[in-house]
């Protein structure tokens, strides 16, 4: 499963091998922290065939939702009891707290997403069983679907959020709040 090629073109750094969480992944993943503080944000990259185990993000008081913003490659997201969703650059997934789910690369392509968890009370992760190998192997690949990926260009995330996401609220009185009406022109919500 290891591709040996970490020259995966994307808009954020590939990061370091995600060895701290390797026990919860099939294949190699990489982690690049992008922001820290009350809402840590990371770029997570998956080599072809890599995916995480089924897992649940817990939380209360609005916390524990996971947001995934696909920035490069092609992958899968699946919530328990639902069909898998093909995730392509520009796809935004909101995983409500308490939802059993998994996500990762398709078998024949790298995949990256920016991920963060909404803060709140009792936020924690519960790691569960791996996705069944037979099930994963039966999912279609990009090659089977005739999909070819373009190299993402710098600044694309702003374009993606403008089309698929909503701007985060600004702190009252901040310079960002003063600029927000201009930034929100053309911004739509995916949900």
- Find where tokens 């990489």 sit: 30
Residue at 6 is within a domain: no
pLDDT digits (tens, 9 = 90+) for 51-60: 999 999 999 9
| Euclidean distance between CA atoms 140 and 125, whole angstroms | 29
Query: Whole-prediction pTM value?
Result: 0.73
| Same domain, yes or no: 169 and 96 | no
Alpha-carbon 39 to chain mean position: 15
* 105 in the same domain as 33: yes
Total domain count for the chain?
2
pLDDT for residue 90 is more than 60: yes
CB 89 within 8 A of CB 43: no
Instruction: Give 130-171 pLDDT, tens digit per residue.
Output: 999 999 999 998 776 555 544 444 444 444 444 334 434 444
Stated as kind and residue range, the H or E segment containing 114 is strand 111-117
The number of angstroms, rounded, from the C-alpha of 99 to the middle of its chain's C-alpha atoms is: 15
Q: Report CA-CA distances (Å) from 46 to 27, 28, 136.
A: 8, 6, 15
Work out the average pLDDT over 49-68.
96
Q: Is residue 10 part of a domain?
A: no
Q: Please indicate, yes or no, whether residues 113 and 168 belong to a single structural domain of this protein.
A: no
**95 & 60 share domain:** yes
C-alpha dist (Å) from residue 189 to 26, 58, 77, 112, 163: 33, 24, 19, 21, 8
pLDDT the model gives residue 157: 44
Higher-pLDDT residue of 61, 96:
96
Same domain, 160 and 88: no
Same domain, 133 and 191: no
SS3 75: strand
Residue 162 domain-assigned (yes or no) = yes
DSSP letter at 130 equals P
Residue span of the structural domain in which 83 resides: 16-147
Instruction: Identify whether residues 131 and 168 lie together within a single domain.
Output: no
Residue 85 has pLDDT above 90, yes or no: yes
The answer to the question of residue 113 being in a domain is: yes
Residue 117 or residue 164, greater confidence: 117
Least confident of 7-21, 73-87, 99-113, 117-131: 7-21
Determine the length of the chain. 191
More confident of the two residues 172 and 80? 80
Predicted pLDDT at 165: 40
Query: Could you tell me if 136 and 182 lie in one domain?
Result: no
In a domain, 9, yes or no: no
Distance CA 107, CA 50 (A): 7
Report the pLDDT averaged over residues 2-19.
79
């Amino acid at each position: 499963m290891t591709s040996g090629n970490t020259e995966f073109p994307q808009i954020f750094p590939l990061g370091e091998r995600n060895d701290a969480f390797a026990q919860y992944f099939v294949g190699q993943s990489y982690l690049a922290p992008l922001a820290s503080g009350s809402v840590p944000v990371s770029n997570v990259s998956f080599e072809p065939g890599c995916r995480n185990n089924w897992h649940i993000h817990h939380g209360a008081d609005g916390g524990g939702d996971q947001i995934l913003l696909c920035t490069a490659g092609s992958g899968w997201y699946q919530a328990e009891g639902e069909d898998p969703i093909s995730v392509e650059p520009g796809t935004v997934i909101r995983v409500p707290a308490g939802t059993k789910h998994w996500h990762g690369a398709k078998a024949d392509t790298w995949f990256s997403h920016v991920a963060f968890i909404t803060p709140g009370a009792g936020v924690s992760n519960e790691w569960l069983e791996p996705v069944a190998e037979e099930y994963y192997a039966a999912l279609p690949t990009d090659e089977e679907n005739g999909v070819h990926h373009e190299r993402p260009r710098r600044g694309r995330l702003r374009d993606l959020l403008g089309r698929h996401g909503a701007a985060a609220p600004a702190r009252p009185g901040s310079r960002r709040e003063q600029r927000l009406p201009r930034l929100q022109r053309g911004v739509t919500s995916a949900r």
